[in-house]
Structure 1
């Protein structure tokens, strides 16, 4: 176990030089591109047409309210966006802002392909093998997401922006800066 912890990418990152970071990013890009080549099942959700496990869709089990309204699966991106609005309303109770989101999300978060995604791609979920090869771990939120989701979540995971991690995200994933801005705002509002 000591070896694995020593080789976690979040721990090792500050010790790596730019060429080593580039090499790791390139290898991760190949892995992600392979995931993206999987044929879509035609829905947004977890494998087997199950609801999302991602925390943005979570509701308290004792509330007994999630019949798929919040967590899917969803047949269209429009229905996924509506679930995000419903979740915002569930968390905040702010009807007027929910109406704003209901109006604008279909304008800004639309026309994205359904792609297989890890669902939580960040440095803490990558370990380096003895030979330096990156291995992505912690697949519990994996599923079929809009193409922008993995990028937006990876950028969100850059957190306090204390290092150069954000510079390597676009080397691993296609950039979606506009979608990230909306995702960042929604995620902060859902969990603040």
Structure 2
């Protein structure tokens, strides 16, 4: 395994202009303004027709369609949380996402129209990444998530309610027991953490995991921040593809990694993105886990504790 070099606090391997943001294409800006005056039902009907016409779209997944003019259409069973997440993130500095052009719904089916980001996902390029590439990824993502946290932090003693990006109930595959049948928001991090690490009173966990995790659950000083909620290699795009990204300057704002798929975003405890990024890892020290530790160095204790819980608690997560 390649050993990653973690920058010291205040140190970066590459310098970023944190005040700048990637400007959306002029066409997308104009289209967004035009669509504002078109009735919702008309827009939804057009989007629905686009999903059915194979001459218009290129199907990426079962609910993601690439359209002409640098656009991508995403469908949902209902109006997406992702739209509210993108609206919020676009108001922040230093976070790179697709540009939200429009969102609407028809007959309980939601449509999200954004700009298409040409490139290659980190997951697709993973086996070809060098140690230098991975260090650059770490510093880029650490910068973006630090910026998002700094601009959205909600501190004790009255932190913001824990909820999805639409201020609604949490529905996340990491905690399926808090889902559609038991959907809820949480007033404070301790109440949420109790649902993250369940089963501590079971006989096999009472004297082993509970002493480790209960102090983390009960902490009164956990901040609530806006979180992506699905930080995985498949949701990170290297603009232009690996070769172009690698040959570009790290100072070029247009080459910053684009973070996509914000449907699980919300206001969460500050450790949540690190836990969600590693919850499907089957070993404690995978290369991706080590990168996440470098991106979120302040979450080391929670990452260690979560691995102990996932590997020893006997709780099965059926998403």
Match of 1:9 in 2: 122
Partner-residue secondary structure (3-state), 1:38: helix
Partner-residue secondary structure (3-state), 1:57: coil
Partner-residue secondary structure (3-state), 2:151: coil
- Structure 1 stretch 51-60 or stretch 130-139: which is displaced more? 51-60
Q: How far did 1:49 drift?
A: 2.2
Larger Rg: 2
Q: How far did 1:13 drift?
A: 1.7
Higher strand share: 2
Match of 2:167 in 1: 49
Please give the residue correspondences for 1:139-158 in structure 2 after superposition, counting only pairs within 5 Å: 139-158=262-281
Please give the residue correspondences for 1:39-78 in structure 2 after superposition, counting only pairs within 5 Å: 39=152, 40=154, 42-59=160-177, 65-66=181-182, 68=183, 72-78=184-190
Give RMSD over aligned pairs: 3.5
Partner-residue secondary structure (3-state), 1:7: strand
User: In 1, distance between residues paired with 2:279 and 2:134?
Assistant: 19
Match of 1:81 in 2: 193
Distance 1:82 1:98, change over 3 A: farther
Specify every segment of 5 or more residues in structure 1 that has no aligned partner in the other structure, as ranges. none
Task: State TM-score, norm by structure 2.
Answer: 0.47
Please give the residue correspondences for 1:177-188 in structure 2 after superposition, counting only pairs within 5 Å: 177-187=300-310
User: In 2, distance between residues paired with 1:183 and 1:170?
Assistant: 13
Specify every segment of 5 or more residues in structure 2 that has no aligned partner in the other structure, as ranges. 1-59, 61-65, 67-116, 246-254
Once the two structures are superposed, residues 132-162 of structure 1 have per-residue CA deviations (whole angstroms, 9 ceiling, x without a partner) of 2311111111111111121223233444478
User: In 2, distance between residues paired with 1:164 and 1:65?
Assistant: 36
Task: State TM-score, norm by structure 1.
Answer: 0.74
1:38 aligns with 2:38: no
Q: How far did 1:16 drift?
A: 1.5
Distance 1:8 1:32, change over 3 A: same
**Contact 2:172/2:178 (CA < 8 Å) preserved in 1?**
no
Q: In the comparison of the two structures, how many residue pairs are matched?
A: 181
1:191 aligns with 2:303: no
User: In 2, distance between residues paired with 1:106 and 1:141?
Assistant: 26
Partner-residue secondary structure (3-state), 1:141: coil
User: In 2, distance between residues paired with 1:75 and 1:30?
Assistant: 28
